[in-house]
């Protein structure tokens, strides 16, 4: 698969993830957050195994790969989702959005330190541009930064855990199919999350009874499309183009979530959001390496044309 095809698929995944945000808001309002999150991720993990079973991609991991599954599951599923759900109840949406928007920068930093991948100047500008776009969008709510709270720390732990997990996934992808790794991480992580929910949210399972069919339809759509298929493709992309480049597309998630909120929750999208989108798209073009590829191709084309003229 060519890079531009991977980029196009990643944009589509960001669209699905963005529209999944208002869906999650509805689910969390109906059920206890950690309990419903653990069930959603477990459903997604089982879906991944069913899909890979049809693709004949299932196999037993090696002892070393089990370590990747455990560490990746604890970071990408347990820590990320637990601290995100708890953190959002203890801070403003502006602060939370800003901290979550640092994900690509944290991933690039982790890749630089742990994988010794040194980003180019253009990619660094892309990371910064995408962050500026996310900042403009989340600040457009007018809430301002009203001081750091415990929730801010929890959200930072959440996004830091996710960024670190992307590095683990990129390493594990050398021997284990990232899609299979996704399934193992989801099932393992969801079981740990469910155990935590039994302690922190006693009696939450009783709330599952009597929920309308529309809520359960939303639950399965979120679990299968956004969580299962979305994370399979995203983690597979990490194995293809690297953790740093893939994480750049997470910036689009912020914009698409706003579009989804406007369409499904009747929230307002302002011109600040459109300005933010410009910075985000610029960040994706620069940070993903697309601009560098265009420049390199043009230089190669000019070189070949000059060489042909010289031979004539």
pLDDT mean over 123-142: 73
- For the entire predicted model, the pTM comes to 0.74
Q: Report d(CA 70, CA 249) in Å as an integer.
A: 26
Three-state SS for 140? coil
Q: Report d(CA 277, CA 114) in Å as an integer.
A: 31
CB 289 within 8 A of CB 126: no
For residue 146, pLDDT over 60 is answered with no
pLDDT in tens, 156-169: 888 889 888 888 88
Q: Report d(CA 224, CA 286) in Å as an integer.
A: 31
In this structure, of 76-90, 137-151, 228-242, the range with the lowest mean pLDDT score is 137-151
Across 20-29, 35-44, 141-150, 207-216, the highest mean pLDDT is recorded for: 35-44
pLDDT mean over 179-183: 90
Q: Report d(CA 189, CA 72) in Å as an integer.
A: 9
Structure-model confidence comparison of residues 121 and 219, the more confident one:
219
pLDDT for residue 147: 45
**3 state SS for 39-83:** HHHHHHHHHHHHHHHHCCCCCCCCHHHHHHHHHHHHHHHHHHHHH
Model confidence at 31, pLDDT cuts 50, 70, 90, reads confident
CB 108 within 8 A of CB 216: no
pLDDT in tens, 10-23: 888 888 877 877 78
The encoded tokens of residue 203 equal 């009696």
pLDDT mean over 84-112: 67
In this structure, of 54-68, 77-91, 93-107, 288-302, the range with the lowest mean pLDDT score is 93-107
The encoded tokens of residue 274 equal 């459109």
In this structure, of 28-42, 89-103, 121-135, 262-276, the range with the lowest mean pLDDT score is 89-103
pLDDT for residue 143: 53
Three-state SS for 113? helix
Model confidence at 231, pLDDT cuts 50, 70, 90, reads confident
């Amino acid at each position: 698969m060519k890079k531009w095809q991977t980029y196009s698929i990643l944009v589509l995944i960001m669209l699905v993830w963005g529209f999944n945000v208002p869906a999650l808001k509805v689910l969390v309002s109906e059920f206890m957050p950690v309990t419903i999150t653990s069930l959603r991720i477990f459903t997604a993990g089982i879906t991944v195994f069913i899909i890979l079973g049809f693709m004949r991609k299932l196999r037993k991991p090696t002892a070393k790969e089990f370590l990747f599954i455990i560490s990746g599951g604890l970071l990408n599923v347990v820590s990320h989702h637990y601290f995100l759900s708890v953190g959002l109840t203890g801070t403003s949406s502006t602060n939370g959005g800003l901290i979550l928007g640092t994900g690509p920068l944290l991933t690039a930093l982790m890749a630089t330190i742990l994988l010794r991948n040194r980003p180019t100047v253009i990619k660094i500008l892309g990371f910064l541009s995408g962050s500026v776009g996310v900042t403009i969008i989340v600040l457009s709510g007018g809430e301002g930064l009203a001081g750091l709270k415990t929730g801010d720390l929890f959200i930072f732990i959440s996004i830091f855990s996710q960024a670190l997990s992307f590095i683990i996934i990129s390493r594990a992808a050398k021997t284990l199919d990232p899609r299979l790794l996704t399934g193992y991480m989801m099932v393992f992580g969801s079981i740990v999350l469910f155990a935590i929910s039994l302690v922190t949210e006693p009696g939450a399972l009783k709330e599952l009874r009597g929920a309308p069919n529309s809520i359960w339809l939303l639950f399965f759509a979120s679990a299968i499309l956004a969580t299962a298929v979305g994370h399979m493709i995203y983690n597979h992309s990490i194995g293809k183009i690297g953790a740093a480049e893939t994480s750049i597309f997470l910036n689009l998630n912020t914009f698409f979530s706003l579009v989804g909120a406007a369409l499904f929750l009747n929230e307002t999208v302002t011109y600040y959001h459109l300005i933010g989108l410009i910075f985000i798209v610029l960040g994706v073009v620069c940070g993903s390496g697309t601009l560098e590829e265009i420049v390199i191709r043009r230089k190669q084309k000019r070189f070949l044309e000059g060489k042909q003229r010289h031979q004539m």
